[in-house]
Amino acid sequence: MPLPKTLFALALAALAPLGLAQNAPVLNIYSARHYQTDEALYSNFTKATGVRIQRVDADDAGILARLRAEGSASPADVILLVDAARLWRAEVDGLFQPVKSPVLDKRIPAQLRGKDEGAGAQWFGFSTRARVVVYDKTKVQTADVETYEKLADPVNKGRLCTRSGSHPYNLSLFGAVVEHLGPAPAEAWLKGLVDNMARPPKGGDTDQIKAVAAGECAVALTNSYYLARLMRSDAPADRQVVERIGVVFPNQKTWGTHVNIAGGAVARHSKNVQAARQFLEYLSSDDAQIYFANGNNEWPAVAGLKPTNPALQRMGDFKAETIPVSVIGMNQVKVQQMLDRVGYR
Ligand code: FE
């Protein structure tokens, strides 16, 4: 059926400002990102290349389910996800294809890429977030929480709050700890965390921060961007929360703070592989890196770029762990079994 006249006119009107023909090539992006600043990312790419972007927005799990259901008929070209564990899962499930790109190999640090068996990496990290400790400044000494290991120390008995142990952000952190400490000490550490809980795990990361500020817990784990969001908020309640809490980037004297990524890949059945690769390369450019990272208050993946984001500037520089993020994914099954054994819900 032909497009109704008004709709057709609308579609043309939408293309006109970008100087695009109605038959301009289209890139289909499935994205778990939904940030205002991303609009500039997409329109700048279209301006530079003439490739129009069509976006499907869903969360990570929704995108993976959709790709599986669509199979080889999937129109997806580029996939954007917001967690290393999920990127790893998609890689293992064969939902991506390798990308050979000298640009991406040069720009994106090797430890922030997926598996590469010679044909190129399966995915690339484009921004990083840290899993940090927040604490109640009125009750806790910084020294009590300066490492992840310390969170399991009896000094923190009855103080700790976290979201579910099985949430990907915690699975990723725990997967990293397994890598740093070895499986047996990591399991003992997880048991220590359970013993130190102020309450059974519940809620999201922001809920943990607020529970610390409310005095319900004294120590909690959160991704850095939830904290940055509160730090940038003008709401009086959020300001009070930020004033009450201290922040620690753990393990600065040892292996560094755990970092996770948001990243992208080319879909297994993409029919526009060249434009898809071009889009990923574009995401590694200086300008796009700043937009991409700022969209969710994260750090650029490309080395040497400074955040323009005031909350991140306030948090300052820190030492990040350097293990490959793909290892974190590989440890997830092991970690889930440990959680079951130590009763970490
Ligand atoms: Fe999140």
- Mean pLDDT over residues 170-184, rounded? 97
pLDDT at 205: 98
| CB 239 within 8 Å of CB 227 | no
C-alpha 86 – ligand 1 centre gap (Å): 12
C-alpha 82 – ligand 1 centre gap (Å): 7
Domains of the chain: 20-127+259-315 (3.40.190.10), 129-257+325-342 (3.40.190.10)
C-alpha 119 – ligand 1 centre gap (Å): 31
Question: For residue range 264-313, what is the model confidence (pLDDT) as tens digits?
Answer: 999 999 999 999 999 999 999 999 999 999 999 999 999 999 888 999 99
- Predicted confidence (pLDDT) at residue 188 exceeds the cutoff of 50: yes
Query: Quick one: 118 exposed, middle or buried, by C-beta within 10 A (0-12, 13-18, 19+)?
Result: exposed
C-alpha 45 – ligand 1 centre gap (Å): 26
C-alpha 103 – ligand 1 centre gap (Å): 28
Count of residues making up the chain: 345
State the pLDDT confidence band at 1, using cuts at 50, 70 and 90: very low
State the pLDDT confidence band at 149, using cuts at 50, 70 and 90: very high
pLDDT at 208: 98
pLDDT at 19: 59
pLDDT at 34: 85
State the pLDDT confidence band at 21, using cuts at 50, 70 and 90: low
At residue 196, what are phi and psi to the nearest 5 degrees? Answer: -95, 0
* Cβ-based neighbours of 287, under 8 Å, separated by 6 or more: 44
Copy the structure tokens of residue 49: 């290349």
Regarding predicted confidence, which is higher, 32 or 16? 32
DSSP class per residue in 202-221: -S-HHHHHHHHHTTS-SEEE
* Cβ-based neighbours of 206, under 8 Å, separated by 6 or more: 222, 226, 229, 230
C-alpha 307 – ligand 1 centre gap (Å): 19
For residue 136, the surrounding DSSP H or E stretch is strand 124-136
C-alpha 162 – ligand 1 centre gap (Å): 14
State the pLDDT confidence band at 194, using cuts at 50, 70 and 90: very high
pLDDT at 13: 41
C-alpha 87 – ligand 1 centre gap (Å): 14
Residue 75, classed as helix, strand or coil, is coil
| CB 174 within 8 Å of CB 190 | yes
C-alpha 126 – ligand 1 centre gap (Å): 15
Copy the structure tokens of residue 5: 């006249």
| CB 245 within 8 Å of CB 137 | yes
pLDDT at 323: 95
C-alpha 124 – ligand 1 centre gap (Å): 18
C-alpha 117 – ligand 1 centre gap (Å): 30
C-alpha 183 – ligand 1 centre gap (Å): 26
Of all residues in the chain, the percent with pLDDT exceeding 70 is: 94
Mean pLDDT, all residues of the chain: 93
C-alpha 4 – ligand 1 centre gap (Å): 40
pLDDT at 306: 86
C-alpha 223 – ligand 1 centre gap (Å): 7
Q: State pTM to two decimals.
A: 0.90
Q: Cα–Cα distances in Å, from 138 out to 23, 219, 220?
A: 62, 11, 14
Copy the structure tokens of residue 86: 């999920």
- Mean pLDDT over residues 73-98, rounded? 95
Question: For residue range 87-129, what is the model confidence (pLDDT) as tens digits?
Answer: 999 999 999 999 999 999 999 999 999 999 999 999 999 999 9
Regarding predicted confidence, which is higher, 269 or 83? 269
C-alpha 192 – ligand 1 centre gap (Å): 25
C-alpha 6 – ligand 1 centre gap (Å): 39
At residue 292, what are phi and psi to the nearest 5 degrees? Answer: -60, -45
State the pLDDT confidence band at 237, using cuts at 50, 70 and 90: very high
Instruction: Give long-range contacts, CB 8 A cutoff, 24+ apart: 186-191.
Output: 186/335, 186/338, 187/338, 187/341, 187/342, 188/152, 189/148, 189/149, 189/152, 190/152, 190/165, 190/338, 190/339, 190/342, 190/344, 191/152, 191/342
C-alpha 11 – ligand 1 centre gap (Å): 34
pLDDT at 12: 41
